[in-house]
Amino acid sequence: MPYIFLALLAVALIALIIANVKIVPQSKAFVIERLGTYNSTWQTGIHIKIPFIERIAKQVSLKEQVADFPPQPVITKDNVTMQIDTIVFFQITDPKLFAYGVERPISAIENLTATTLRNIIGDMELDHTLTSRDTINAKIRGILDEATDPWGIKVNRVELRNILPPKEIQDAMEKQMKAERQRREAILTAEGAKASEVLVAEGQKASKILAAEADKQSAILSAEAIKEAKIREAEGEAEAIMKVAEARAKAIEMINQAQPQEGYLTMKKLEAFEKAADGKATKLIIPSELQGVAGLAAGVQAILDK
């Protein structure tokens, strides 16, 4: 009987030891209390808890967590009520402060986010709110990060997921956007037509300039061609005159070399006067030395006519 009791005691002791051996997994931390007072924080690894004296007060995840909060009503500076929902990315950096810093820390973050959002949006107008997401995100993150430091929480990022103005405001914004797009379309169409007309006018101007330059070049070439033709014609005439003069000079030279008789010379003179007298209203003055010869020639001609 005593052996059975000892065996049962040994089994109970072993079971108690096994039950108090704890393994802390990766990215986890256990907050340990001894007799109701904070004692230590267990990190990753194997730990043994003193039974009935120590207890695990809180198991904390060290991973980055996401808190998606429902839409919150906010009022802008120009008295427009909107619904804005936020997403907060945070991480627990101090398990002890997280366990003892604030009751229900996620709810505290949600309420702090809502009040901070109302304060920021209350200083902004509607149009500024819709175009300043990054600014609002940065302001909320800075305020939350500073406020949650005593809770052992690090706020990494805050995002505004949806900004929902009232239905009538959305309709007015859509109409305004449509009108703005139509205005831009009209401006772009007008600018395109203007650019097209400018290009056409520039093309016509360039064409006229090229045509005028071509006409000018053609006129210059024609003038040069006419000038060249006249020069060649004048050179040809001059050359012909020179050749005629040379032929006459050579003929005179040959006559002089042949030493013609006086009668031959007189006959040539008469031929020259005959050609000169061929025109109308021509008055001739015959030298005295030719008068006798002329009379003799006339008599001979009269005899031949009979």
Q: Look up the CATH number of the domain holding residue 76.
A: 3.30.479.30
Residues 78, 159 within the same domain:
yes
Residues 122, 156 within the same domain:
yes
Residues 161, 172 within the same domain:
no
Residues 6, 41 within the same domain:
yes
Phi/psi of residue 305, nearest 5 degrees: -70, -30
Q: Which residues of the chain have pLDDT under 50?
A: 281, 290, 293, 296-297, 299-300, 303-304, 306
Q: Is residue 95 a part of any domain in this protein?
A: yes
Q: Which of 61, 79, 112 is the last residue before a domain boundary? A: 61
pLDDT at 258: 63
pLDDT at 303: 46
Residues 19, 56 within the same domain:
yes
Residues 22, 79 within the same domain:
no
Residues 236, 186 within the same domain:
yes
Q: Is residue 302 a part of any domain in this protein?
A: no
Residue 67's SS3 state is strand
pLDDT at 296: 47
pLDDT at 280: 54
Q: Is residue 47 a part of any domain in this protein?
A: yes
Say if strands 64-68 and 81-92 run parallel, antiparallel, or are unpaired. Answer: antiparallel
Structural domain count, the chain: 4
Q: Is residue 70 a part of any domain in this protein?
A: yes
Which residue segment(s) compose the domain that 264 sits in?
A: 259-276+285-297
Residues 108, 83 within the same domain:
yes
Long-range contacts from 223-230, C-beta under 8 angstroms, 24+ separation: none
The Cα–Cα gap between 47 and 54 comes to: 12
Instruction: Say which residues have a Cβ less than 8 Å from residue 33's Cβ, sequence separation at least 6.
Output: 39, 54, 55, 57
Q: Which of 61, 87, 102 is the last residue before a domain boundary? A: 61
| Cβ neighbours, 10 Å, residue 252 | 10
Q: Which of 136, 165, 194 is the last residue before a domain boundary? A: 165
The pTM for the full model equals 0.55
